[in-house]
Chain A
Amino acid sequence: MAGIRIDAIEKRFGAARALEQLTLDVEDGEFLALLGPSGCGKTTLLRIIAGLETQTSGRIFIGGRDVSALPPRERGLAMVFQNYAVFPHMTVYENVAFGLRMKGAADAEVKKQVERAAGLLHIEPYLERYPAKLSGGQRQRVAVARALAVQPAVLLMDEPLSNLDALLRLEMRSELKSVLNSSGTTTVYVTHDQTEAMGLADRIAVMHKGVIEQIDRPQALYERPATRFVGGFVGSPPMNFIDMPVKAGLARLGDFANPVSTGRDTITAGIRAEDIAVVERGGLPFDVMVCEPLGSTLLLTGRVAGQLARVAVRPDAVVAPGDRLNLEPSPGRIVWIDPANGKAIGQAA
């Protein structure tokens, strides 16, 4: 078991900067998700931790040991790849045993660890098969078992569930969580799927264009996004962003007014779709354009003073496109964002 310290890591591909001076601490036993859209540098960062890619500058420590210049095999970690990367010419047993055999473990020890890992991932029935005979989900289990069999100090996962179909993904997600919880392995998990990150991680680092926008616990990230990007990326539907003019310390739109502390004459209110109540009169005028019944809620898409907004109301609400509703956002849950730099006001971003 070991923590990871990423110290001012920078990566450039020619003139393009993939990662800018990135510093990050992952605690011992923690599950950290690197979340971001494609091209944000999250996979690059993971590969630098693994040693599959070399950083342009900066250092990596695993368990207090500087591994910046070490090849992958000497870093004491295991990795699960997006396309599983199970060895096609070896049986499942030999795949899971691969890391142990490379360490020169005795046969008895190999057998014990393979059986333990296979048991965790429920792949005992396939141990003598070749990967070609397995489904995608089973191969994924083999890849995870192979990683856990070596009892790594650090486990790296690169979008391990993205090649599975939706139902299997949900199943594997909860299973992964319970397996990793019980093993207590420090895990860095790369994903572009915010529900995956929310569901699995102790902390999430949201990355965008090579920098970490915010790093926090999932719920805190959801409720208090530090930037407009985080608010828009985390959560489904994304956070609403409504620009309001500011006069005399009051942000005012329609009949809605709220005191704000900003020197600018416009401010952006970040409001979650479920933090809005429909009221009889007053509040924000909302013109309904589309109604989507989602089962647990009714999702309304429409415009507030010409700006796109989404509101989740009770599923039995009677609303039709063309209606005008009055919305009252709960003031304590609004995130006020400076429109000039996209950062939340009153928070260190």
Chain B
Amino acid sequence: MSEATVSLRLRRVMFWSGIAMLCAWVLVPIYLIALGAFGGRAGVFRWPKNLLPWDSGLAAMQAFLAVEGVWTAALNGALVACLTMLFSLLLGAPAGYALARYRFAGQDAFRMLVVLTRAFPLAILALPLTVTFIRTGLYDTPLGVALVHTALALPFTALVSSSLFMGIPRELEEAAWVFGCTGLQAFRKIVLPLALPGLAAAAIFSFVISWNEVFAASVLTVRNRTLTAYLLTVLAESPLHFRFAGGFLLILPSVIFIFAVRKYLFAMWGIANR
């Protein structure tokens, strides 16, 4: 065997083992959580583990869902996430459009600033936010949490939609103007239909961000907990299988949604999606 083929084979082994490790890094915890969630009290402590999570049936999951407060919290979480999705799209998509289409002073700085908001630790904001929210009556409301989550999701929506709009040739819009459209009509008839799948992906991504967020949700609510915040408070005094069931329910929407829109999220990081 020549040196070249050895190094080629070695590289291939490295490549695939890297992929395997990355997959395992994500999939093994999910698998273990699923085992715990469906196994019930017995399943959590059983050793060796069952290979399939659902061989002990859905009883454990059903028991978890029957606990008081879980459904309300889940609905609250969904409501907050939907509001976040709506707000971040309404605010982020126009920002993205402006970033993509217009040249203005400080454009690059603005782009950077948008990302930098994510670097700002939320913990520092917790107290002033709480105080402000109590004063304005937003405290302990889904709307209040949704506003904070919107602030968190906005950088993503703005940047994703800006790269989306950049992918739509300006000439298409100009052609629409020439052939009788106002600016708004051209946007609605030409740009929006072309950007819609990507915008949907950005919206779903902000849904997931909100659904998973726990800190702001815990600090800013007392009775109207989202699912994450609710679980955080009850987990400490719950049996292990209960925690697993909660964890599984939390990651499920994210995994499904992200899987559904993965193509567009790749585009967001500048990797071509075709």
- Which residues does A use to contact B, with CB under 8 Å? 50-52, 71-73, 77-79, 81-83, 85-89, 98-99, 102-103, 146, 150
A99 nearest CB neighbor, chain B only: B179
CB-defined contacts of A72 to chain B, threshold 8 Å:
174, 177-178
Shortest C-beta distance, B188 to chain A (Å), equals 12
Within 8 A of A (CB), among B170-188: 171-172, 174-182, 185
Which chain B residues in 131-177 approach chain A with CB under 8 Å?
169, 171-172, 174-177
Q: Which of B14-43 contact A (CB under 8 A)?
A: none
Give the distance in Å from the alpha carbon of A83 to the alpha carbon of B168 in the complex.
12
Instruction: Identify which of B176, B178, B182, B194 contacts A78 (C-beta below 8 A).
Output: B178
User: Quick one: which of B175, B181, B182, B194 contacts A85, CB cutoff 8 A?
Assistant: B175
Q: What are the 8 A-B residue pairs with the smallest beta carbon separation, nearest first?
A: A102-B180, A85-B171, A99-B179, A85-B175, A72-B177, A79-B178, A73-B180, A81-B171
Give 26 A-B contacts (CB < 8 Å), ordered by A residue. A51-B177, A51-B178, A52-B177, A52-B178, A72-B174, A73-B182, A77-B178, A78-B178, A83-B169, A85-B171, A85-B172, A85-B175, A86-B175, A87-B172, A88-B194, A89-B193, A89-B194, A98-B176, A99-B179, A99-B180, A102-B180, A102-B181, A102-B185, A103-B180, A146-B175, A150-B179
**Complexed CA–CA distance, A294 and B179 (Å):** 45
Docked pose: A99 CA to B180 CA in angstroms: 6
B172 — which chain A residues lie within 8 A by C-beta? 85, 87-88
Does B190 count as interface, using CB distance less than 8 angstroms?
yes
Q: Which residue of B lies closest to A79 (CB)?
A: B178
**Contact flag A73-B177 (CB < 8 Å), given A83-B171, A85-B169:** yes
Q: Is the CB of A81 within 8 A of B179?
A: no
Residues of A within 8 A of B180 (CB): 73, 98-99, 102-103
Q: How far is the CA of A150 from the CA of B179 in the complex (A)?
A: 8
What residues of chain A lie closer than 8 Å to B182, measured between beta carbons? Answer: 71, 73
Q: How far is the CA of A50 from the CA of B178 in the complex (A)?
A: 7
Q: Which residues of B contact A88 (CB under 8 A)?
A: 172, 194
How many chain B residues sit at the interface, stated as a range, is 10 to 19
> Known pairs A87-B190, A146-B179. 10 more at Cβ < 8 A?
A52-B174, A81-B171, A83-B169, A83-B171, A85-B169, A85-B172, A85-B174, A88-B172, A98-B180, A150-B179
The answer to whether B178 touches A73, judged by C-beta atoms less than 8 angstroms apart, is: yes
- How far does the Cβ of B196 sit from chain A's closest Cβ, in whole Å? 9
Main secondary structure of the interface of B (DSSP, over half): helix
* CB atoms of A73 and B179 under 8 A apart: yes
The chain B residue with its CB closest to the CB of A50 is: B178
Which residues of chain A come closer than 8 Å to B190, judged between CB atoms?
A: 87
CB of B179 within 8 A of CB of A78, answer yes
Binding site for A on B (CB under 8 A): 169, 171-172, 174-182, 185, 190, 193-194
A292 to B178, CA, bound (A): 47
- Closest A residue, CB atoms, query B192: A89
Quick check: B174 and A81 within 8 Å, CB to CB?
A: yes
Q: List, in ascending order, chain A residues with CB within 8 A of B176's CB.
A: 87, 98
Tell me the complex Cα distance, A83–B87, Å: 36
- A residues less than 8 Å from B177 (CB atoms): 51-52, 71-73
Interface centre among B175, B178, B182, B193 (most CB of A within 10 A): B178
* Chain A CB within 10 Å, residue with most, of B175, B190, B194: B175
By beta carbon, the residue of chain B nearest A77 is B178
Q: How far is the CA of A103 from the CA of B180 in the complex (A)?
A: 7
Nearest CB on A from B181, distance (A): 6
Among A51, A71, A82, A98, the residue within 8 A (CB) of B179 is: A98
Q: Which residues of B contact A85 (CB under 8 A)?
A: 169, 171-172, 174-175
Q: Which residues of A contact B175 (CB under 8 A)?
A: 79, 81, 85-87, 146
Minimum C-beta distance from A54 to chain B (A): 13
Q: Which residue of A lies closest to B173 (CB)?
A: A85
A209 to B175, CA, bound (A): 27
- The distance in angstroms between the C-alpha atoms of A102 and B212, with both chains bound, is 45
Across the interface, name the chain A residue whose C-beta is closest to B185.
A102
Bound: A71/B175 CA distance, A: 12
Please name all residues of chain B whose beta carbon is closer than 8 Å to the beta carbon of A82 when the two chains form the complex.
Answer: 171
**Chain B residues, CB < 8 A from A98:** 176, 179-180
| Complex Cα gap A98–B182 (Å) | 13
Which of chain B's residues have a CB closer than 8 A to the CB of A89?
A: 193-194
CA distance A318 to B141 in the complex (A): 95
Q: Shortest distance in angstroms between A215's beta carbon and chain B's nearest beta carbon? A: 25
CA distance A50 to B171 in the complex (A): 13
Residue of A nearest to B175 (CB): A85
A73 to B179, CA, bound (A): 6
How far, in angstroms, from A89 to B172 measured CA to CA in the complex? 11
Of all chain A residues, the one with the shortest Cβ separation from B194 is A89
Q: How far is the CA of A98 from the CA of B180 in the complex (A)?
A: 9
**Residue contact B181 to A73, C-beta cutoff 8 Å:** yes
**Which residues on B sit within 8 Å (CB–CB) of A103?**
180
Whole-angstrom distance between the alpha carbons of A77 and B185 in the complex?
18
**B residues less than 8 Å from A79 (CB atoms):** 174-175, 178
CA distance in complex: A150, B172 (Å): 17
In the assembly, what is the distance between CA of A99 and CA of B172, in Å?
A: 13
Q: Which residues of B contact A77 (CB under 8 A)?
A: 178
A155–B193 Cα distance when bound, in Å, is 28
Cα–Cα, bound, A88→B193 (Å): 10
Residues of A within 8 A of B174 (CB): 50, 52, 72, 79, 81, 85
Residues of B within 8 A of A78 (CB): 178-179
A193 to B176, CA, bound (A): 27
Cβ of B179: which chain A residues have Cβ within 8 Å of it? 73, 78, 98-99, 102, 146, 150
> What is the distance, in angstroms, from B175's C-beta to the closest C-beta of chain A?
4
